[in-house]
């Protein structure tokens, strides 16, 4: 069954709506440049109220390992999602007690070997592929074409688990699941009424669409 992550949570009511709708994970963005940035105190309060089987994930862009460690400890985060090529193997190994989801954005200079090399050097087994944009590290609403995405997921299955992001919404996520067969899917802007403000109906529709696609891929007994 495809894992579902709702990213860019900033409000208690949105976190609860996503959890009740069936999200597996929620993303909390600590990048000060993001319109979905959340402060550590608010994130800590929201995370403390989550059901026990919903995984909170910290989103970090260019923050130092020391700052990531501090925020993760303060918010009881056990998973950190790292954007930016600045997070090399040496910096990743300085993170304490957190599992890593490393983000790769297939752009003009991207090579799939980067993913395998990073996995070998760090032991990281979690990845996220997002659409490339020179302006923003994520949440752009841009998509990865299906053929590129399929290649990425096929090549990474031998050494890890990967989520697909980039422009996913209730209208297109089912096709993405059927065509790409990702381990998980991630959305932020696709289920919003404004940056950082989630539309609860869109969240429910998104999750229903994923589960319907999952059922279509499961052979009937």
> Which residue out of 7, 72, 75, 124 is catalytically annotated?
7
Closest by CA to 27, choosing from 10, 51, 42, is: 10
Closest by CA to 35, choosing from 175, 141, 173, 164, is: 141
> Are residues 61 and 34 in contact, defined by beta-carbon separation less than 8 angstroms?
yes
The count of other CB atoms within 10 Å of the CB of residue 43 is 24
> Which residue out of 14, 72, 75, 130 is catalytically annotated?
130
Q: How far apart are CA 162 and CA 182, in angstroms?
A: 7
Q: How far apart are CA 195 and CA 188, in angstroms?
A: 8
Closest by CA to 149, choosing from 122, 178, 120, is: 178
Q: 7 catalytic, yes or no?
A: yes
Q: 130 catalytic, yes or no?
A: yes
Which sequence positions are flagged as catalytic? Answer: 7, 130
């Amino acid at each position: 069954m495809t894992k579902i992550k709702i990213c860019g949570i900033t409000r208690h009511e949105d976190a609860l709506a996503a959890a009740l709708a069936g999200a597996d994970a929620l993303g909390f963005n600590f990048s000060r440049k993001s319109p979905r940035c959340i402060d550590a105190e608010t994130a800590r309060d929201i995370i403390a109220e989550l059901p026990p089987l919903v995984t909170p994930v910290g989103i970090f862009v260019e923050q130092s390992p020391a700052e990531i460690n501090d925020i993760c400890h303060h918010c009881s985060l056990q998973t950190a999602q790292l954007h930016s090529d600045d997070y090399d193997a040496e910096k990743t190994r300085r993170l304490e007690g957190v599992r890593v989801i490393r983000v790769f954005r297939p752009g003009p200079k991207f090579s799939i070997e980067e993913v395998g090399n990073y996995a070998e050097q760090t032991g990281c087994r979690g990845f996220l592929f997002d659409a490339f944009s020179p302006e923003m590290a994520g949440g752009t609403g841009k998509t990865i074409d299906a053929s590129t995405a399929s290649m990425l997921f096929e090549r990474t299955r031998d050494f890890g688990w990967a989520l697909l992001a980039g422009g996913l919404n209730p209208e297109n996520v089912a096709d993405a699941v059927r065509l790409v067969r990702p381990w998980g899917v991630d959305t932020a802007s696709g289920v919003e009424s404004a940056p950082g403000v989630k539309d609860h109906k869109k969240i429910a529709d998104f999750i229903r669409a994923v589960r319907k696609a999952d059922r279509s891929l499961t052979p009937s007994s």
